[in-house]
Structures are given as C-alpha cells and as structure tokens.
Chains A and B, each alone.
Chain A
Amino acid sequence: MCLAIPGKILSLEEHFAMADFAGTQKKIVVALLPKIQIGEYVIVHAGYAIEKISHEAAQDSLTAWKEMISEGLVAKEDYV
C-alpha cells in the first residue's frame, strides 16, 4: 500500500508533471512538492509525488550508514 517508486520530472504544468519511470512515462500529481523542478527525482505513491529524492541521495544514505557502522561497538579488527 505504501509502496512508492522513483521517477524523474520531465515537464511541469501547475499541479501535474510528466515523469519518467525507467523508460515508462506517466502523468503524476506534484501538488505535495510545490518547489519541485524539471530534472529532479521524486518518489511516487499511487500517482502522487510524496517526496523529493536527491540525485546523490543513495550516496548520502551510504555516507550516513558508514558513519553509523563506524560508530558501532565492534572494533575494526573485530570483524568476522
């Protein structure tokens, strides 16, 4: 139900946008993201963009995870 998929904004018209989902284009509602721009990526739930996902977002997550892991209690030499 809360599944959402990433898409790239191709064009904007008021509350609507045309978005590209890995080659498939579909009209979506972007009213929940008033500052969204052409070329940006969004995650789309049931035809509505619910949040922006930055281009470098996945890398940002990895950086956060790396910090999380390095803060862990297991010492570097302690890996299995």
Chain B
Amino acid sequence: MRMEINWDHLSVEDLSLSKEIIAKIHKIMLKIPNPIAIMHVCGTHEYTIAKNGIRSLLPKNLRVISGPGCPVCVCPATDIDIAVELAKREDVILTTFGDMMRVPSTTYSLLELKARGAQIEVVYSPHDAIELAKNNPDKEVVFFAIGFETTAPLIAFELTMNPPSNFSIICAYKLVPPAMDVLLKIPHLEINGFILPGHVCAIIGAKPFEEYPKRYKSPMVVSGFEVNDMLISIYQIILQLYNKTATVGNSYTRVVQYEGNLQAQSYLEKAFEVTDSFWRGIGEIPNSGYQLREKYHKYDAVKKFDVHVDSDPKMPLGCSCSDVLIGKITPDKCALFGKTCTPQHPIGPCMVSHEGACKVNYMFRDI
C-alpha cells in the first residue's frame, strides 16, 4: 500500500518524498538494460551522498561516482610550493582557507610551516584577508586563492575595489565546464550522466554546460545539496537516459537561474582571463583556470615576489588520488586508504579536505 504524498505540506527535506523518488529510480532502472554510472563533481554532493548512505539505497546497476569536485584536491603541489615559498618570507602573512593547511606539498604542508614559525592565518572569507592587509601596513598579505567559479567572484569583486597595495593573491582558480570534456573522454570510464554542482551554477548558470550533453549524449542536471535534491537529480538523469534524451536539467531552481548571476560574471570578466590550468592528478586541462588581467598584475603574488618553484607534480608514492579524482576507483580500493593514509595522517590530498572523496568516505565508512 502506497503512502499518498501531500505536496501542499511538504518540505524539500521530507523523507516520504525520498522514498517516493527512490522507488521510482528502482522502477526505471528495471527497464534500463545496461549498468549506469552517474558522476558528480562536487565535494559537498559527495558529503550528502556518503553521509546519508544514498549509494546503498540505489539499484545495483546504478553507480554514483565521485569526480574532481574538491578544489583543495585538484590544486597542484606546485601551487602549494609557491604558497610555502611565500610563507617562508619574514615580510609575508599568508592567508588561506582552512582546508589548504594540511595538504602535502613537495616539502612541508602549510600547517607544518606554521608550526615552524611562519605567519600563516586561516581566514573564513577573502574580505578578512583584505582587512588583515589594512591592519598590517608594514606586512605583505598574500591570499591563497583556490576554488571554483563559486569562489572566484569574491576576489574579483575585491580587486575592483582597489585593495591595499600590500595585498596580493596566488591565483589558482579552476573552472568546472572544461573538465567535462576531459572526464567524458577518459578511456574505459563510461559516464552516462553528470550531477552538476549547484553553487558553481549559481554563479555561471546552467548555460555553459549546454554543449556537453549535445556532444556526448550525456544528460546533466544541476543539483542542490539536500538528500532529495540529489535523489531527484539522479532520477531526472536516468529518466533522460531511458527516454534517450540529453539536455541540461535543473533541479535546484530555488537558487540557480539558467543564466547564473550576471553581476558576479561581470566581476569575473573584469578581473580574470581564462587560461590553461594544471589539475593535480589529472594534468593540464585547456581553458580551465583563471589568471589576472594585466590591469591587476600588481596583485599577482607570483609576479610581485618573483617566485619560482620547480617541483614534480607527481602524487606521493602508493597514493591513488589521481584515480580517485576521476572516479576510476573508489577510495577504499586504494592500498593506503584507512591504513597509512587517514585524516589524522593524510598522504594524498583527497584525505585532507572535508570535501575530499577519501576523507568523506573514511568518515562515513562501515565499521
């Protein structure tokens, strides 16, 4: 006997809705002959999936795999080496989001360097870094600017507001849409559909993803971060696969508009130009990063302090983060997972960040 859903008194978190969607997913998957793999590219999506045990509720022939959605994880060791070099300077206060502190570089992590006396401050917001620069005019404040399109407009806006001359950034932003091309071309990694990151799309909209479903016949759905957001997105993707359609859908309409946030995009356009960028564990992806426009070069810490690092971008020995990042293996298939590599003693970047697939799966593993 099926429980009738009263839509008028329902919230997006409602469990009865979850049950309804899961039942529908099972029903459709009975009619799809081939195994299906759906990838998400967002650490917060992985958190929702792992925390709520969503994978265990799905049919056996439907896999949801974690892609390169953690900016800390895809930040190359070379960029961390640059931050380390800058933080070693007596005149520099390096500021960073907390997640970057424990990521291994080729020498020290920022946390180890701070323990040795370097001036490294964790900030919640880029604005805090600028305030720090204003309050410390005799110091150089460098902000380690990592993240995807969600995070980049914050600095873009601040740069247009003439921040103090003792402020600069390590510009290490990454762009999500160009990574789709790479992921969809990886041999033996057949991804049938993508769950798109809701807050990246809040900024850039769903529009920049339009070309990929057309080219690869792979449906994509913009998703929010509640359990039912994820379930309805999965449902919408398999429904498209069943109907043999491939478009960009949006199940996060309460936040994401098709065109995105145009004001944020105009700040991005003012401050940055698109450039090729190296992703840790994946390699160089054309047009997948930002560099500062010439007008803002005075805020480029690498140019300002003439930093040169010559490091090998390889992963640590035995570490499988590069396979985890592209969804080739699940974290538990890495020989180091939960043994020598744990959140207390991370070896690879995916075990460090709260959004890293290894850390999330370690936290919510079966014990």
Binding site for B on A (CB under 8 A): 1-4, 15, 29, 31-34, 43, 45-48, 50-51, 53-54, 57-58, 60-66, 68-69, 72-74, 78-80
Complex contacts, A2 vs chain B, CB 8 Å = 42-44, 147-148, 150-151, 197-200
Complex contacts, A64 vs chain B, CB 8 Å = 251, 253
A32 touches B261 (CB 8 A): yes
A1 touches B355 (CB 8 A): yes
B126 touches A51 (CB 8 A): no
How far apart sit A51 and B204, CA to CA, in the bound complex (Å)?
Answer: 11
* A51 in complex: contacting residue of B44, B154, B157, B261, CB < 8 Å: B261
Lowest 3 A-B CB distances belong to which pairs? A47-B125, A57-B254, A2-B199
Residue of A nearest to B266 (CB): A32
Complex contacts, B202 vs chain A, CB 8 Å = 4, 43, 50-51
Interface mask (B240-272 → A, CB under 8 Å = 1, otherwise 0): 001100000001111111000101100100000
A79 touches B23 (CB 8 A): yes
| Residue contacts A-B, CB under 8 angstroms, 21 given | A1-B44, A1-B97, A2-B43, A2-B198, A2-B200, A15-B161, A46-B154, A47-B154, A48-B153, A50-B153, A51-B202, A51-B203, A51-B257, A54-B254, A61-B252, A65-B232, A68-B236, A69-B20, A69-B24, A69-B235, A73-B28
Given A4-B199, A31-B157, A78-B27, A53:B255 Cβ within 8 A: yes
B255 touches A1 (CB 8 A): no
Within the complex, the shortest CB–CB distance from B231 to chain A, in Å, comes to 10
How far apart sit A19 and B346, CA to CA, in the bound complex (Å)?
Answer: 36
Quick check: is B127 within 8 A (CB to CB) of the other chain? yes
B153 touches A65 (CB 8 A): no
* B12 in complex: contacting residue of A47, A61, A73, A74, CB < 8 Å: A61
* A29 in complex: contacting residue of B2, B157, B199, B253, CB < 8 Å: B157
Complex contacts, A72 vs chain B, CB 8 Å = 24, 28, 235, 239
How far apart sit A58 and B11, CA to CA, in the bound complex (Å)?
Answer: 7
Given A33-B261, A34-B263, A79-B2, A1:B70 Cβ within 8 A: yes
Binding site for A on B (CB under 8 A): 2, 7, 10-12, 17, 20-21, 23-24, 26-28, 31, 42-44, 70-72, 97, 99, 124-128, 146-148, 150-151, 153-154, 157, 161, 197-200, 202-203, 224-225, 228, 232, 235-236, 239, 242-243, 251-257, 261, 263-264, 267, 353, 355
Complex contacts, B263 vs chain A, CB 8 Å = 31-34
How far apart sit A31 and B126, CA to CA, in the bound complex (Å)?
Answer: 13
Complex contacts, B253 vs chain A, CB 8 Å = 60-61, 64
* A32 in complex: contacting residue of B10, B157, B224, CB < 8 Å: B157
How far apart sit A57 and B263, CA to CA, in the bound complex (Å)?
Answer: 21
Given A2-B42, A32-B263, A50-B264, A45:B23 Cβ within 8 A: no
Q: Which of A3, A60, A65, A69: most chain B Cβ within 10 A?
A: A65
B127 touches A32 (CB 8 A): no
Given A3-B44, A50-B261, A74-B28, A45:B21 Cβ within 8 A: no
How far apart sit A78 and B31, CA to CA, in the bound complex (Å)?
Answer: 13
How far apart sit A48 and B124, CA to CA, in the bound complex (Å)?
Answer: 11
Complex contacts, A73 vs chain B, CB 8 Å = 28, 31, 239, 242-243
Residue of B nearest to A64 (CB): B253
